[in-house]
């Protein structure tokens, strides 16, 4: 099978971590008889430097023509003073909207080998952390009108019933494939948009009698994630709440560098990326953790290419790497061996077994 992957190396540590993921994909292709071809796409700060645009239209077209997109990271201090429409992050919003990927799925799972790296108490971690946050990705306050007039600034948060229903269905369907528990997170005691969210989710619940639906206010959810994350299976929420909660959930697992994500819409072409940023302070030092990117490639195989065995192979190789006591600096602990970004990729590639 041949698949064309659009590759956005991006800024900061992006090129380093992408290189390791491609190394793993190439080996998977050899083992399972697939051919993965790569089309380089400029997005973010590097595109601003080259074209004066964080995502030129021809680059978006390359993504739309691909079978899926693998993204490293974009942004950095170098571009922080640019006007909003020219910031690297604008490229992220544009590619999500352009690809129509309205559902961002971020798993937060504690690897047994990294239990001691979690900032939570051991008795909390021992109860287990294995949840998925389903975040609406192309609506809400990030895509509303943004306006500054004198000393007054406004940002518009808007959702339609249709937008809520389609992400709600993803939440229910995801929960149905897991432990059949769905937590809908909103702020319905204050926001009209959240009251509409709650209404639509409860209407959908009638179609999924096998899934237990619970409502939770976003501030309570933030507290419960550190008090008892084992209570959660699938969380579905709007764009900004999901952005914040998924970062919190990733840190309770031990390192943001370990967490992959997938963004999908109506078709199979998805956007896959680690949830961390470009970390310009460590760029070029070969110390970044590429596992979040490698696991994002595994998610691509599983969810866009229907290659479950190949995805399992990658995840097992990551587990074997951790069993060997190898650690990048962000998850380093006593008694383990410190490795760099490139060596991490080499070891995981060597651990790939059918």
- Active site residue: 78, 109, 180, 187, which one? 187
- pLDDT at residue number 144: 95
For residue 112, give every residue at least 6 positions away whose Cβ sits within 8 Å of its Cβ, in sequence order, or none: none
Mark whether 248 and 330 lie in a shared domain.
no
Mark whether 37 and 108 lie in a shared domain.
yes
- Active site residue: 102, 142, 208, 303, which one? 142
Domain with residue 326: its CATH number is 3.40.718.10
- Active site residue: 247, 286, 312, 346, which one? 247
pTM summary value: 0.88
Task: Measure the CA–CA gap between 186 and 78, rounded to whole angstroms.
Answer: 35
Burial 276-309 (b: 16+ CB within 10 A, else e): bbbbbebbeeebbbbbbbbbbbbbbbbbbbebee
In the chain, how many domains are there? 2
Task: Measure the CA–CA gap between 127 and 134, rounded to whole angstroms.
Answer: 22
Residue where a domain stops, chosen among 227, 252, 277: 252
Burial 191-223 (b: 16+ CB within 10 A, else e): eebbebbeebbeebbeebeebebeebbbeebbe
Residue pair 54/11 in contact by the 8 Å Cβ criterion? no
Mark whether 139 and 222 lie in a shared domain.
yes
Mark whether 195 and 215 lie in a shared domain.
yes
Task: Measure the CA–CA gap between 333 and 336, rounded to whole angstroms.
Answer: 6
- pLDDT at residue number 30: 98
- pLDDT at residue number 117: 85
Mark whether 192 and 288 lie in a shared domain.
no
Active-site residue, 281 included: no
Task: Measure the CA–CA gap between 31 and 129, rounded to whole angstroms.
Answer: 32
- Active site residue: 11, 42, 67, 243, which one? 243
Mark whether 242 and 150 lie in a shared domain.
yes
With a cut of 70, list the residues of the chain below it in pLDDT.
none
Active-site residue, 208 included: no
Active-site residue, 130 included: no
Identify the helix (H) or strand (E) that includes residue 16: helix 14-32
User: Residue 127 sits in which domain range?
Assistant: 119-252
- Active site residue: 219, 281, 306, 323, which one? 219
Residue where a domain stops, chosen among 217, 232, 252: 252
- pLDDT at residue number 52: 95
Mark whether 138 and 248 lie in a shared domain.
yes
Active-site residue, 247 included: yes
Active-site residue, 151 included: no
Helices (H) and strands (E) in the chain, counts: 12, 14
- Give the dihedral sign, CA 53/57/62/67: positive
CA atoms within 13 A on the CB side of 172: 20
């Amino acid at each position: 099978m041949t698949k064309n992957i659009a590759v956005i190396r991006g800024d900061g540590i992006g090129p380093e971590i992408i290189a390791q993921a491609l190394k793993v994909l190439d080996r998977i292709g050899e083992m399972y008889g697939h051919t993965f071809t790569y089309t380089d796409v400029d997005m973010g700060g590097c595109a601003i430097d080259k074209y004066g645009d964080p995502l030129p239209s021809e680059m978006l077209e390359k993504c739309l023509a691909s079978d899926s997109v693998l993204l490293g990271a974009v942004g950095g201090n170098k571009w922080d003073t640019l006007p909003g429409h020219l910031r690297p992050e604008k490229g992220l919003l544009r590619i999500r909207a352009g690809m129509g990927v309205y559902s961002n799925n971020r798993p937060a799972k504690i690897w047994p080998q990294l239990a001691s790296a979690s900032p939570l108490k051991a008795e909390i971690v021992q109860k287990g952390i294995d949840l998925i946050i389903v975040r609406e990705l192309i609506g809400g306050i990030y895509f509303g009108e943004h306006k500054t007039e004198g000393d007054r600034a406004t940002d518009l948060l808007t959702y339609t019933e249709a937008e809520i229903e389609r992400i709600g269905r993803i939440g229910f369907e995801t929960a149905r494939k897991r432990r059949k528990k769905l937590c809908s997170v909103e702020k319905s005691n204050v926001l009209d948009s959240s009251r509409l969210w709650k209404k639509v989710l409860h209407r959908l619940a009638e179609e999924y009698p096998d899934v237990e639906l619970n409502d939770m206010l976003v501030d309570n959810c933030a507290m419960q994630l550190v008090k008892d994350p084992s209570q959660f299976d699938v969380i579905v929420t709007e764009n900004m709440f999901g952005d914040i909660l998924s970062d919190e959930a990733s840190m309770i697992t031990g390192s943001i560098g370990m967490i992959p994500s997938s963004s999908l819409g109506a078709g199979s072409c998805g956007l896959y990326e680690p949830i961390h940023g470009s970390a310009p302070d460590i760029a070029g030092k070969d110390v970044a953790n590429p596992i979040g990117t490698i696991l994002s490639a595994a998610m691509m195989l599983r969810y866009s290419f229907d290659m479950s065995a190949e995805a399992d192979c990658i995840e097992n190789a990551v587990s074997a790497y951790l069993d060997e006591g190898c650690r990048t600096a962000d998850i380093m602990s006593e008694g383990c061996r410190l490795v760099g970004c490139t060596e991490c990729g080499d070891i995981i590639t060597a651990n790939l077994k059918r």
